[in-house]
A and B are shown apart, each in its own frame.
Chain A
Amino acid sequence: MRASGGLALPLTVLGGFLGAGKTTLVNALLRRAAGLRLAVLVNDFGSVNLDAALIASASGDTIALTNGCVCCAVGDDLAAGLAAVLSRRPAPDHVLVEASGVADPGAIAAIARLDPDLRLAGVLVLADAASVAERLADPRLADTLRRQLRAADLLVLTKTDLVAAEEAGRVAALLRPLAPGAALLPASHGALPVEVALGRHAGGGGAAPPPRAAHGTLFASVTLRPARPVAEAALRGALDALPEGVLRVKGVLPLAAGGCVLVQRVGRRLEMTPGGPAAEAALVLIGTEAVWDAAEALRPLGLARA
């Protein structure tokens, strides 16, 4: 039943309450995803605001962009929208689902966990630093928000430029226990690199992306290569202990016990599955400046910068 010819299509869920900045981020990612055939599924086009110059064609519920991306309005029927995306040719490289403001992104992520044609590449939840505390105090909204936060792998605090630094700190402290599986980072005005948001960089190829400054947060990535096979338990322990600023980890490493392991960590959610080509053994860390310290912390495992 694998429709996409063998490779599972990576899927990122973008959640967050009304006004958290999801649309700004979607628009920014669509503009920046040159070289990556990104398919974005939105409820409707109401808030998608693309430069006319970027639109190659528009028909009914699909807008095709000149950079190879598409944006599809799926209304209430996400299932039908995903089926349509899976049958698109050429197949997209990545699919981003923008959840509605009241949806549980975890429920959408579950689809990617279930469907062998899809692979979950992370759940991004945005929270508006200026209003999230007030909303969490509103009994009409609190449970919906808490459900969203709980599902997050990456919790992006937006509109931090609208509040004082200490207020942003207070909000972060309020949110952290509500998003136990997430790494928290500030990023306003959609200034989140493609490689952080989607776990891959535009342009294809395997080279690590250059560090990128974005509104106060310095994003960086580092590629590590193994000098020798690693012990699985030690690797898991080391990855679990990485600092919050390491937003994503991915790669293939040879195991001391034989064979290889595929590593994918988004926020604090770590997946280690057997397999992967030994010839491409490497581990990529993506995040803030914290990746440099993290690289040092992994050195005892025999992992060194390439």
Chain B
Amino acid sequence: MADEITVFRARRILTMDSSCPEATHVAVREGRILAVGGEAEARAWGKGREDGRFRDLVLLPGLVEGHSHAWEGGVWSFAYAGYFDRADPEGRLWPGCDSIEAVVARLREAECALPADQPLFAWGFDPIYFGERRATTEDLDRVSATRPVVLLHSNGHVMNVNTPVLERSGLASADIEGVVRDATGRATGELREMAAKYMVFRTVGNPQHGLMAKPESLRRFAALARRAGVTTATDLFTDLPDPVVATYLETTREADFPLRLLPALNAQSLPAAEGVAKIVRLRRLNQERLRFGLVKLMTDGSIQGLSGRLKWPGYIGGQPNGIWNIAPDDLTELLHAYHAAGLQCHIHTNGDEASEVTIEAIEAALTRTPRWDHRHTLQHCQMADAAQFRRMRALGICVNLFANHVYYWGEQHAALTMGPDRARRMDACATALREGVPFAIHSDAPVTPLAPLFTAWVAVNRLTAGGRVLGPEERIPVEAALRAITLGAAYTLKLDHEIGSIEVGKRADFCVLGEDPLAVAPERLKDVPVWGTVVGGVPFPA
């Protein structure tokens, strides 16, 4: 019965509600939290059905991933060729490919399993970990000398191909920037820039095409979320074409779909007036596990790709400044249009110049159209300095910091992009905390794995993959990190009244853990086992 009361009893419940930070019982009715506390509170509404399955486990509010992409559920259609170990949606662990030899071995394995007429796509490759050694056609021709092989780099802009692709696409003999050549002038198979990518996709097809209109992609994304303790996640950049909207509506209605999904419209894909109208129209379709309403704007590129926009003194290697995806003046206009319509904007800013331009654009929008509690959020905001954080607080701006970067690229940032000093203040969670800027931390999945406990571990320890502590002053306490992946993220999504803490009236969304994250050593936070989740009162074991 829908109005039946279920009482979950746990070893410990960490609520994120400062008026009742800890509990042992939570009563649930109609998918919502009816009562929290001890036995007395839970029984105050009458005797419910006791559910003791969490008796030895620890409950947290369902984790909230404020910056991910549902594409994480689609990309597993291709072979994984990343440097780090990674689990797929079905829970299979794929060991990281720690050499180009290992990449070739992984691709050969995948090639054997593929029907004869299909090209082989692989994803997640990042040669930044292999020093001078780059992948070449010799490597990929060993995967197949006849079948097209395309190895997509994790940055999304570069790829490696084998000889059949080079020849069929005409790129082998093309005299064009973006086709990397060796000392003898021969194309190595590494391709950069839009034109080369265009020719490859024109030759072998675009592997992304249509994948997000498949319910399976969304179900796989939700499966990854469930295993990570995540009950709400964003899909933070989509054009929301009709077939994708239809799939999102249908799939999130499935009774066993264990995730609240928040797509954010790519504001640069259509004129502002149409974008506003589209969101207003889509919001009417909102249902319990699907919420339209967010807007995404992209300002610059990425720091490891040297395409982030930096202030003086720029990249440590003296490389030219990065690129704009939108001109600063255009950003001001576009942001104002959504701001004036009462919508909330999430703005991708990696470099500190991009953050500054965005802060200025928000200030201009507020001057023109004053508005309270807008919660526009800077996404990534990796290089912001203390003064920028103070301006954010003054203007009511939130931030969602890309903490995972410290682990995955921290060494590279110290050595190759920012230099050791500015690398220390990257993704400055402690500065956000000190300056009072509401903040979350994120994975940007599939750029890094969807795993908020891991992200919290990075924010707490700031250990790089190389094993050093990068910027110890920017470490934050475990309590603050746990808040950032629950109530903090919910606040940046304007859902803190509904999710993010275990409080009466909120959704009965829980993350179920095998150990107490406040009791384990902080350096073990990422190893706390996840039992699964509860979404709207329904348990979903991982």
Contact = CB atoms under 8 A, between A and B. Distances in A.
B156 interface: no
Contacts of B199: 111, 114-115
Given A44-B269, A46-B271, A46-B272, A110 B195 contact: yes
B121 to A, nearest CB: 16
A18 B334 CA distance: 13
B269 A140 contact: no
Interface in A14-63: 17-19, 43-47
A83 B174 contact: no
Contacts, number: 92
A83 B201 CA distance: 10
Contacts of B326: 100, 102
Nearest to A17: B327
A107 B272 CA distance: 26
Contacts of B206: 79-80
Nearest to A110: B195
B352 to A, nearest CB: 12
Given A45-B271, A111-B194, A111-B198, A75 B239 contact: yes
Residue of B272, B327, B329 most packed against chain A (CB within 10 A): B327
A1 interface: yes
A201 to B, nearest CB: 29
A17 B328 CA distance: 11
B202 interface: yes
A83 B205 CA distance: 11
A195 B330 CA distance: 31
Given A110-B177, A113-B195, A76 B202 contact: no
Interface stretch (B317-325, B500-508, B530-538): B317-325
Contact of B198 (A73, A101, A102, A115): A115
A107 B194 contact: yes
A19 to B, nearest CB: 8
A113 B174 contact: yes
B233 interface: no
A79 B201 contact: yes
Contacts of B330: 18, 101-102
Given A110-B178, A116-B170, A140-B357, A102 B324 contact: yes
Report, as a range, how many residues of chain B touch the other chain.
35 or more
A18 B174 contact: no
B302 interface: no
Nearest to B199: A114
A102 B309 CA distance: 13
A114 B357 contact: no
- Looking at chain B's contact residues, is the secondary structure mostly helix, strand, loop, or mixed? helix
Nearest to A47: B271
A16 B202 CA distance: 27
A255 interface: no
A167 B198 CA distance: 41
Contacts of A82: 198
B464 interface: no
Contacts of A101: 327, 330
Contacts of A140: 309, 328, 353, 357
Contacts of B198: 78-79, 82, 111, 114-115
Interface in A62-87: 73, 75-76, 78-80, 82-83
A107 B270 contact: no
B384 interface: no
Interface in B182-240: 193-199, 201-203, 206, 239
Nearest to A117: B202
B266 interface: yes
Contacts of A44: 269-271, 274
Nearest to A106: B177
A78 B195 contact: no
Given A18-B330, A113-B195, A114-B170, A144 B266 contact: no
A143 interface: yes
Contacts of A107: 193-195
B268 interface: yes
A107 B202 CA distance: 16
Interface in B324-380: 324-330, 353, 357
A113 B194 contact: no
Contacts of A115: 198-199, 202
B203 A144 contact: no
A295 interface: no
A114 B171 contact: yes
Contacts of B194: 78-79, 107-108, 110-111
Contact of A143 (B270, B272, B321): B321
A278 interface: no
B271 A83 contact: no
A108 B198 CA distance: 10
B176 interface: yes
Contacts of A164: none
A143 B176 contact: no
A78 B199 CA distance: 12
13 contacts: A18-B329, A18-B330, A79-B201, A82-B198, A102-B326, A107-B193, A110-B178, A110-B196, A113-B176, A113-B195, A114-B171, A114-B174, A144-B324
Interface of B: 168, 170-171, 174, 176-178, 193-199, 201-203, 206, 239, 266, 268-274, 309, 320-321, 323-330, 353, 357
- Across the A-B interface, give the 3 residue pairs with the lowest CB-CB distance, nearest first: A46-B271, A110-B195, A75-B269
Given A79-B206, A114-B174, A114-B195, 6 more contacts: A1-B168, A107-B194, A110-B194, A114-B171, A114-B199, A140-B357
Interface of A: 1, 17-19, 43-47, 73, 75-76, 78-80, 82-83, 100-102, 107-108, 110-111, 113-116, 140-141, 143-144
